[in-house]
Structure 1
Amino acid sequence: MLAACWLPWVLLRPNRLAAGEALHLPALDIVVGLVLALAVPLAGRFLPRAVPLLASLALGVGAWWLGSRTGAALSGQAEFARASASSGLWLWLLGAGISVYAARLVGRWMGGAGLLLAWLWLPAVLVMALAGHFASWSVVAEYTVQHNRFLQELGRHLYLILVALGLATLIGAPLAVWASRSVRVSGVVLGLAGGVQTVPSLALLGLLIAPLSALANAVPALRSLGISGIGLAPALTAMTLYALLPVLRNGVVSLRGVLPGVLDAARGMGMTDNQRFWRVQLPLALPVWLSGIRQAAVMLVGVASVAQLIGAGGLGYFIFSGLQSGAADLILLGALPAALLAIVLDTGLRGLETFLGQRLGRA
């Protein structure tokens, strides 16, 4: 964070593609940054209870500077000018983020008030975003220009993830149950699923083009269903195959991990095999099994971005458009929402795992 105060904070460019001019923080902002950068570690040494508040303040100030400095840089510039975040901002946010993580650890022994202070930056950033404070930032400017296309590609990205995850669960769940009852079957099933994981996602997408094209040509009726060598069909096929391994592996491990004594007790109560599975084994295995589904969901966020290369759409449209044109703003317009989507999926499914684990623990 100290180093960030002296690095360029904003890159001002006359348009999306032109080389830019690096701008630094004003002297007053540098002084504020130095004070905050020194205050966080000093508080950790002498006044730990102040760490959550100072860390949240550092992250919130970084977000404020992002909006205010980009806005000031664009003052008097042409309509096509862009003000993007430079190395100083990213380094500051990294340091502030590490400080917030440490503040959450400190806040645990302080109780609810400490944890609340460690998360104080989040509502502040949301209020800034809703108030349009970041409107001058180049990524937000690109979103404003391509608002409709962004919503379309975001919806396609979610569609790819949810459909592929659903298919992987529908296929992997019965296979995991079958494999959990036989060492030989589990070796074959997990070996095949693991073999698919060794193939790079881009290579797997390319390998599926030829067979699906041949299938669509051999059975023309399949084209009316949307099956062809490019587009959704190969993308969903590849994503489903990729998601199978964590679903299968965690399913087999969780089902085998149920204590034999518990199953014997259920048998002693007169339960049939089906009743023991649905009422005892599956509920006990479900939290661990959900962990595999969570891993698959997070992994699919990245694979769905690559699917744009075969015309499947998604947030990869902006990432690859930015790579082709050398426009970092477009890359971030696709990459940042994808990263946030992965975090939301991971947090939501992790919360579901914890909830089910607590319910089963009380039961």
Structure 2
Amino acid sequence: MLVACWLPWVLLRPNRLAAGDFLRLPPLDIGLGLLAALATALAGRFWPRAVPLLASTALSLGAWWLGSRTGAAVQGQAEFARASVSSGLWLWLLGAAVTVYGAGLVGRRLASVSGGVQPYLAWLWLPAVVAMAALGHFAGWSVVAEYQVQHDRFFQELGRHLYLILVALGLATLIGAPLAVWASRNARVSGVVLGVAGGVQTVPSLALLGLLIAPLSALANAVPALRAVGVSGIGVAPALTAMTLYALLPVLRNGVVALRGVLPGVLDAARGMGMTDNQRFWRVQLPLALPVWLSGIRQAAVMLVGVASVAQLIGAGGLGYFIFSGLQSGAADLILLGALPAALLAIVLDTLLRGLEAFLGRRLGRA
């Protein structure tokens, strides 16, 4: 964060493709940044209770700079001018985010010893950033300018991205769950199933999408009913097929480990109570294995966010539309318009499923 104060913070260009000029922070902002960084560092050494609040302030300050510096750069410029984030601001935001994460750990440790609200202070940056966004503070940032141009297409592709992820995850769970139960009871089946699923993971996603074009095209030509429902060599069908195959390994592997990890004594106790095999599975083994199994589903969901981006290359849509459009035209702002929401989507899915794992773990612990 200290080094970031001397690096360029904004790249001002006359349009999205032209070369531009790098702009640095004014001296007053540099002094403010140095003060914030040093205060956070010294608090970590001498006053740990202040670290969550200071870290959250540093991240909020970076977000404020993001809007104010880019907004000031495009003021008075032509309509097509773009103010992009440069290395200094990215480095500041990275350092502040790492500091916030560490501050959250410090806050939880202090709260476990003496109570208090320290863990929540590390999240004060979130309402601050949301308020800035709601007030249009980031309107000058090039990514927001691209979003305003691509507004309708953005939500269309975001919806398609979510659709691909959720359908592929659902199919992988429907296929993988019974296979995991079967494999957990038979070592030979386990070796074959996990081996095949692991083999699929070794094939690059783009290569797998390409390999599916020919067989799905032939299948659609041979069975007109499939073509009528949208099955073809390009589009959603090969994308969902590839994504489902990729998601099978974490679902299978964690399912087998989770089911085999239930203590034999617990199952023996259930048998001694007169439960049948089906009752033991549904009432004892599956509930105990579910938190670990959900971990595999969470891993699959996060992985599918990235694979869904590549699916744009075969016409399946998704946020990859902006990523590859930006790559083809050399427009970094378009790349970020697809990449940043994809990264946030992965974080949100991971957080929600991790929370579900923790909730089930607590319920089983009380039970």
What TM-score do the two structures reach when normalised by structure 2?
0.98
2:213 alignment partner in structure 1: 209
1:166 alignment partner in structure 2: 170
Identity of matched residues, %? 87
Matches within 5 A, 1:257-276: 257-276=261-280
2:29 alignment partner in structure 1: 29
2:313 alignment partner in structure 1: 309
User: Structure 1 residue aligned with 2:154, among 150, 156, 161?
Assistant: 150
Cα distance between partner residues in 2 of 1:53 and 1:243: 39
Note the alpha carbon deviations across 1:83-122, whole angstroms, 9 max, x for none.
0100000000011111111111211133241111111111
The count of aligned residue pairs is 363
1:234 alignment partner in structure 2: 238
2:81 alignment partner in structure 1: 81
Note the alpha carbon deviations across 1:19-61, whole angstroms, 9 max, x for none.
1110001110001011111111111111111111111111000
- For structure 1, which segment, 97-106 or 123-132, has the greater mean C-alpha deviation from structure 2 after superposition? 97-106
2:13 alignment partner in structure 1: 13
For the aligned residue pairs, the C-alpha RMSD in angstroms reads 0.7
**1:132 counterpart = 2:116:** no
> How far apart are 1:6 and its partner, in Å?
0.6
> How far apart are 1:352 and its partner, in Å?
0.3
- For structure 1, which segment, 174-183 or 94-103, has the greater mean C-alpha deviation from structure 2 after superposition? 94-103
1:190 alignment partner in structure 2: 194
**1:72 counterpart = 2:45:** no
2:254 alignment partner in structure 1: 250
Cα distance between partner residues in 2 of 1:115 and 1:301: 29
1:97 alignment partner in structure 2: 97
Cα distance between partner residues in 2 of 1:105 and 1:360: 25
Cα distance between partner residues in 1 of 2:151 and 2:197: 39
Cα distance between partner residues in 1 of 2:362 and 2:15: 54
Cα distance between partner residues in 2 of 1:306 and 1:91: 27
2:2 alignment partner in structure 1: 2
Secondary structure (helix, strand or coil) at the match of 1:332 reads: helix
Note the alpha carbon deviations across 1:142-197, whole angstroms, 9 max, x for none.
00111000000000000000000000000000000111100000000000000000
User: Structure 2 residue aligned with 1:350, among 346, 349, 354?
Assistant: 354
Cα distance between partner residues in 2 of 1:237 and 1:108: 43
Cα distance between partner residues in 1 of 2:344 and 2:235: 25
Cα distance between partner residues in 1 of 2:43 and 2:326: 42
Cα distance between partner residues in 2 of 1:253 and 1:314: 33
Note the alpha carbon deviations across 1:256-283, whole angstroms, 9 max, x for none.
1111111111111111111111001100
1:330 alignment partner in structure 2: 334
**1:55 counterpart = 2:55:** yes
2:366 alignment partner in structure 1: 362
User: Structure 1 residue aligned with 2:126, among 103, 122, 125?
Assistant: 122
Structure 1 moving runs of 4+ over 6 Å: none
Q: What one-letter code is carried by the residue in structure 1 that aligns with 2:121?
A: L
What TM-score do the two structures reach when normalised by structure 1?
0.99
| Structure 2 stretches lacking a partner, 5+ long | none
Cα distance between partner residues in 2 of 1:102 and 1:290: 26
2:322 alignment partner in structure 1: 318
